[in-house]
């Protein structure tokens, strides 16, 4: 055991007995410097010396030496897997929690209008340098997150909030981690989310591409369920003041774009279409300006910071922006077969098949929902 782990009361006991360091040293058979070293905590004597010190002071060994107690971690402080823009998080950050397998997973809650969003915990320590997710200590605020009626979905579709609201009316909670398609599949592979949403497609055709899924997951280990078919294209300012009509206009020097992060379906679409036009990213102003998420990119268009971005018709509708369609894309939900029987997941699949839910999403977003809930793989 290290000396730093042991406390001692030798100096105090020696002073109470009126003994000098040299006198005690002579009685025990050690040097005066050794007495001082023991009292300073830089030296731990062997058993024989400890017994002699106790005899000389007429106390027990335990009264002289005590083991430093292990610091107690409060019951409401736990380790959690934190998802999202980790580098932007600071101590005190509000978090929502969900139990996924053996993991406690934390995500930043969606803004709650003018009020504070609901939260289950707060971040205690800053996190830096993680690529996908990272462990961190969080302080628990309540125990509701442990209820089995809560599941976690990762994806980039803003309309999932409609799904969450529908499930809430049925007594279930859907916690949302807004991540791009590639990252969502990686999180599902790491078993830290229940469901991954993805709209990766083959080149610029919009044809369903299940290759990333089949390569990442073992045979028959996941099911793929249809959610929607949506339009992806160029989102421009209201009235389209720059008269943007297609991808070829992005080479104009008066056009600035907000690009998405690598791994995002919109980034992949842009790269494929630039390649078809024989354009390099270096020819497009703003190509290197990366914005995470559909809504944040489109908000930059709305604010006038950029002239356009690649996103969905639903996002353009929500923000009152113009939309130039380029391709139709399927959006799928990927679920591990081992979790299919969880009551919240069964409720989610049932909800997708309801005509009332499909109609609500179609009217709100312009998505085509007629195949929602149908198995794809």
Q: Which domains does the chain have, with CATH numbers?
A: 3-67 (1.10.260.40), 72-146 (2.40.340), 147-377 (3.40.190.290)
pLDDT at position 372 over 80 = yes
Sign of CA dihedral 336, 342, 345, 349: positive
Tell me, what's the pLDDT at 184? Answer: 93
Cα angle value 283/286/274 (rounded, 5°): 45
Cβ contacts of 238 within 8 Å, gap of 6 or more: 320, 321, 322
pLDDT at position 204 over 50 = no
8: exposed, middle or buried (C-beta count within 10 Å: 0-12, 13-18, 19+)?
Answer: buried
pLDDT at position 115 over 80 = no
> Which parts of 197-251 fold into alpha helices (H)?
211-216
Residues 160 and 80: their CA atoms lie apart, in Å, by: 24
- Note the pLDDT tens digit of each residue in 246-286: 999 999 999 999 999 888 889 989 999 999 999 999 999 99
Render 302-326 in DSSP notation, one character per residue: HHTSSSEEEEEHHHHHHHT-EEEEE
Confidence band for 207, pLDDT divided at 50, 70 and 90: very low
pLDDT at position 157 over 70 = yes
Side-chain-side CA neighbours of 58 within 13 Å: the count stands at: 4
Phi, psi dihedral angles at 98 (to 5 degrees): -150, 140
Average pLDDT, the chain: 88
pLDDT at position 242 over 90 = yes
Cα angle value 197/198/201 (rounded, 5°): 165
pLDDT at position 73 over 60 = no
Highest mean pLDDT among 109-113, 171-175, 197-201: 171-175
pLDDT at position 176 over 50 = yes
Tell me, what's the pLDDT at 233? Answer: 94
Tell me, what's the pLDDT at 216? Answer: 87
Given a contact cutoff of 8 angstroms between Cβ atoms, the answer to whether 132 and 119 are in contact is no
Tell me, what's the pLDDT at 126? Answer: 73
Confidence band for 87, pLDDT divided at 50, 70 and 90: confident
* Range in 36-45, 195-204, 304-313 the model is least confident about: 195-204
* Range in 146-150, 207-211, 347-351 the model is least confident about: 207-211
Provide the whole-model pTM.
0.74
Per DSSP, the three-state class of 249 is helix
Mean pLDDT of the 91-107 span: 92
Given a contact cutoff of 8 angstroms between Cβ atoms, the answer to whether 209 and 201 are in contact is yes
């Amino acid at each position: 055991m290290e000396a730093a782990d042991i406390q001692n009361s030798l100096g105090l006991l020696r002073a109470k007995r009126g003994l000098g360091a040299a006198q005690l040293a002579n009685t025990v058979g050690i040097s005066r410097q050794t007495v001082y070293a023991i009292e300073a905590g830089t030296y731990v004597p062997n058993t024989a010396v400890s017994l002699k010190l106790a005899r000389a002071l007429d106390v027990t060994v335990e009264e002289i030496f005590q083991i430093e107690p292990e610091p107690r971690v409060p019951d409401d402080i736990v380790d959690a897997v934190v998802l999202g823009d980790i580098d932007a998080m600071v101590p005190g950050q509000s978090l929502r929690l969900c139990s996924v397998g053996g993991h406690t997973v934390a995500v930043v809650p969606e803004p709650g209008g003018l009020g504070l969003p609901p939260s289950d915990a707060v971040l205690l320590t800053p996190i830096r340098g993680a690529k996908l997710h990272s462990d961190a200590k969080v302080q628990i605020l309540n125990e509701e997150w442990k209820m089995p009626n809560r599941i976690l979905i990762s994806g980039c579709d803003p309309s999932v909030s409609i799904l969450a609201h529908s499930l809430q009316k049925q007594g279930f909670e859907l916690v949302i981690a807004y991540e791009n398609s590639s990252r969502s599949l990686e999180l599902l592979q790491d078993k830290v989310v229940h469901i991954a949403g993805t709209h990766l497609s083959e080149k610029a055709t919009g044809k369903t591409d299940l290759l990333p899924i089949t390569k990442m997951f073992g045979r028959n280990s996941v099911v793929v369920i249809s959610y929607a078919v949506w339009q992806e294209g160029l989102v421009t300012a209201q009235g389209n003041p720059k008269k943007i009509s297609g991808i070829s206009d992005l080479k104009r020097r008066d056009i600035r774009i907000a690009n998405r992060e690598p791994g995002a379906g919109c980034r992949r679409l842009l790269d494929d279409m630039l390649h078809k036009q024989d354009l390099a990213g270096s020819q497009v102003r703003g190509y290197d300006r990366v914005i995470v998420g559909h809504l944040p990119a489109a908000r930059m268009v709305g604010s006038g910071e950029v002239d356009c971005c690649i996103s969905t018709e639903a996002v353009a509708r929500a923000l009152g922006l113009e939309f130039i369609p380029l391709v139709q894309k399927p959006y799928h939900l990927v679920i591990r077969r081992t979790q299919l029987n969880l009551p919240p997941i069964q409720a989610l699949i049932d909800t997708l098949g309801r005509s009332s839910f499909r109609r609500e999403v179609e009217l709100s977003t312009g998505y085509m929902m007629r195949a929602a809930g149908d198995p794809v793989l």
